[in-house]
Amino acid sequence: MIRRRSRKIRRLGSSGEVLTVRAAVMTRGMSRRVPASALVVLWAVIMAAVVVAQGNTQPLSVLMGFVMGSFVLVMKGPAFAVVPMLLSEVTNPAARFQIVSINLSFVAVLGATGLSLVAILREPWLKDPQARRVLLPAVMFVAVSTVVNLSFSNDDYSLRYLRYQIIQLLALVVVGSVLRQRRDLRSVAGMTLAMVVLSAIVAAWQHYAPEAALYAGLDGARVARWEGRSMGLSSSPILLGNQLPSVLVPLLALLAFGPLRRDRTRLVLWAAACVLAIGVVFNATRSVPLAVAVGVVVIGLLLRGKRRLAIFGVLILLGVLYLLLSGTGLVPARFYESGDVSAANRVALWEVGLAMILDNAVIGVGHEQFEELAMEYSDVVSEDVVAVGGAAAVGRDRPHNDFLNVWLSWGILGFAAYVALLLSTLVNCVKAMRSKDVLIHGLAIGCAAGVVAYAVNSSFHNYLDSSIFMWIYAGLSVALARMADKSHRVAWYGRKPRVVRRLAVGAVGQGFRRSRHDHYPVSGQ
């Protein structure tokens, strides 16, 4: 049966696709022979080993063991190699292993790369236009930043940052290589959503019972520092403020594009969206509601008809409710108060960063020099910001804006490559929207809206140095564009020839019946 299926697929796609699909068929057959009980036992053994290696039974050690144990799911299919990488990204990617002194995200990405190496090598990354579209600006961004870092920083720092960027690049390649089928999207997205929902539930617990709640590796002093802001399973409210919208926006897109019917799956997804929205409120990161709102606007623009009107109507209604409920205690004060020190710090760092860009627009100043040079530009901070106390952050922190950071660190070429990576991801998403499949089309809309929401959110934070979500989005856009292109070609080569064959046979038959066979001269007449 596998041979017959492989021969059929060989007529539909390239040789690389034949190998990938044949491997998927073989893996699917193997996964049926692996009982779920065996996977659970292996998962538990790995969890226990990690907890023992960490030397404690704290929630963070258990979480790290759970993430590492999810590698056993690769026995069910190659697409599950990305699950540990995604689970680490939506929980606590900076958690460190005591023995090797490296963080969880680093181990998860390297493990996923090793398990996906065959699939990565089989993919025509330079020949495939969808992959090449995001790979070239990504490689250019890494190359430019490395060259500039070597020019302004010592070799040790430059190599450490290059290692981090290679991890980001590998995350893009792995996601774009192993997600090949619709079933892969459902399985991986389902597990990621479940973990983020759990983190949002923990965030609600931290809001209502902060002393008894669960915290992933934080002591009381670090928890008190955030003044009641929930952080879920992450290490800070800022990190949770990136995780929640990065999952919530694609989920809302999938719900908005999907069929309008009542079934168990949609009810569960709507419940998950509500839990994530509650987590956004308790997280109390000011940029998150703005990022989600912009993402929903993008969703509305990419839809048509009554759904677009309904989305914009809901946004207007929520905006009115926000204005009416501000100051009543139902909306956290952080969402509408802008005169605190935190907001003033951001403005002061933005002003210094812009002034530094104007003086070093071409090559930047390197990724390590902003704090040292910032005091030379302290006079550009406006007086009202100084009055609030915002100037205290100058010389101590980096600008809370990824776009500013990229430009002042690596110059115009680095900024152009960074923006090109975002735009190429959006182009892939738009191309994936031609798919008639609800899941692929809906996730393509969600990926595009998620990238825009990430760009808005990262304009107030330094997520480029602490998250790989942007790179995951880029890899997902490659996978979605490939699936859409493959379904389009299968639809053409798989179904249309039947119609063409019938029309051709009918036309030949009609022509044969209507043709005359007595036009040759007969001897003797």
If you write DSSP's letter for every residue of 435-449 in order, what string do you get?
---HHHHHHHHHHHH
Residue closest to 276 by CA, chosen among 221, 213, 198, 224? 198
Full domain range(s) for residue 381: 341-393
Q: CB atoms < 10 A from the CB of 294, how many?
A: 18
- Residue 50: both structure tokens together: 């990690």
Average pLDDT on 217-234 reads 78
Return all residues near 183 (Cβ < 8 A) that are at least 6 apart: none
Helix (H) or strand (E) holding 253, with range, is helix 237-257
Same domain, 382 and 316: no
Lowest average pLDDT, out of 12-26, 201-215, 263-277, 432-446, goes to 12-26
Return all residues near 32 (Cβ < 8 A) that are at least 6 apart: none
Query: Which residue in the block uniquely carries the two structure tokens 């596998």?
Result: 2
The answer to whether residue 277 sits within a structural domain is yes
CA distance 387 to 376: 19
435 vs 499, which has greater pLDDT?
A: 435
Same domain, 216 and 263: yes
16 vs 51, which has greater pLDDT?
A: 51
Provide the angle, in degrees to the nearest 10, between the axes of the packed helices 155-178 and 469-490: 30
What's residue 100's pLDDT? 83
SS3 103: strand
The answer to whether residue 142 sits within a structural domain is yes
Same domain, 69 and 132: yes
| Number of domains into which the chain is organized | 2
Confidence of residue 8 (pLDDT cuts 50, 70, 90): very low
Same domain, 219 and 86: yes
CA distance 374 to 390: 13
Q: What are phi and psi of 439, to 5 degrees?
A: -65, -45
The answer to whether residue 519 sits within a structural domain is no
What's residue 376's pLDDT? 87
Lowest average pLDDT, out of 20-24, 157-161, 173-177, goes to 20-24
Same domain, 409 and 389: no
pLDDT for 193 beyond 90: yes
SS3 96: strand
56-114 pLDDT, tens digit per residue, is 888 899 999 999 999 999 998 889 999 999 999 999 999 999 888 899 999 999 999 99
DSSP code, position 464: G
Same domain, 83 and 227: yes
Return all residues near 187 (Cβ < 8 A) that are at least 6 apart: 77, 79, 80
SS3 213: coil
Cβ contact 20:180 at 8 Å:
yes
Cβ contact 371:365 at 8 Å:
no
Average pLDDT on 198-220 reads 86
Pinpoint the alpha helices (H) of 82-128: 83-89, 104-115, 117-122
328-370 pLDDT, tens digit per residue, is 777 777 777 766 777 888 888 999 999 999 999 899 999 988 8
223 vs 215, which has greater pLDDT?
A: 215
Same domain, 349 and 333: no
Q: Which residues of 108-125 are buried (b: 16+ CB within 10 A; e: fewer)?
A: bbbbbbebbeebbeebeb
Lowest average pLDDT, out of 27-36, 146-155, 246-255, 445-454, goes to 27-36
Same domain, 84 and 133: yes
The answer to whether residue 10 sits within a structural domain is no
Cβ contact 298:280 at 8 Å:
no
Residue closest to 276 by CA, chosen among 90, 462, 440, 143? 90
What's the predicted TM-score (pTM) here?
A: 0.84
What's residue 216's pLDDT? 81
Confidence of residue 243 (pLDDT cuts 50, 70, 90): very high
Same domain, 378 and 304: no
Query: Which residue in the block uniquely carries the two structure tokens 């044949």?
Result: 22
- Of 1-10, 474-483, 516-525, which has the strongest mean pLDDT? 474-483
Q: What are phi and psi of 348, to 5 degrees?
A: -65, -45
What's residue 485's pLDDT? 81
Same domain, 316 and 384: no
474 vs 222, which has greater pLDDT?
A: 474
Q: CB atoms < 10 A from the CB of 2, how many?
A: 11
- Of 212-226, 359-373, 377-391, which has the strongest mean pLDDT? 359-373
The answer to whether residue 76 sits within a structural domain is yes
The gap from C-alpha 157 to its chain's centroid, in whole angstroms, comes to 27
- Residue 33: both structure tokens together: 């022979």
The answer to whether residue 500 sits within a structural domain is no
Return all residues near 447 (Cβ < 8 A) that are at least 6 apart: 250, 425, 429, 432, 473, 476, 477, 480
462-487 pLDDT, tens digit per residue, is 999 989 999 999 999 999 999 988 75
What's residue 215's pLDDT? 87
The answer to whether residue 346 sits within a structural domain is yes
Same domain, 364 and 485: no
Same domain, 132 and 101: yes
The answer to whether residue 219 sits within a structural domain is yes
Q: Is the dihedral of CA 144, 145, 150, 153 positive or negative?
A: positive
Query: Which residue in the block uniquely carries the two structure tokens 């960063």?
Result: 353
Residue closest to 369 by CA, chosen among 130, 161, 223? 161
Confidence of residue 495 (pLDDT cuts 50, 70, 90): very low
What's residue 509's pLDDT? 52
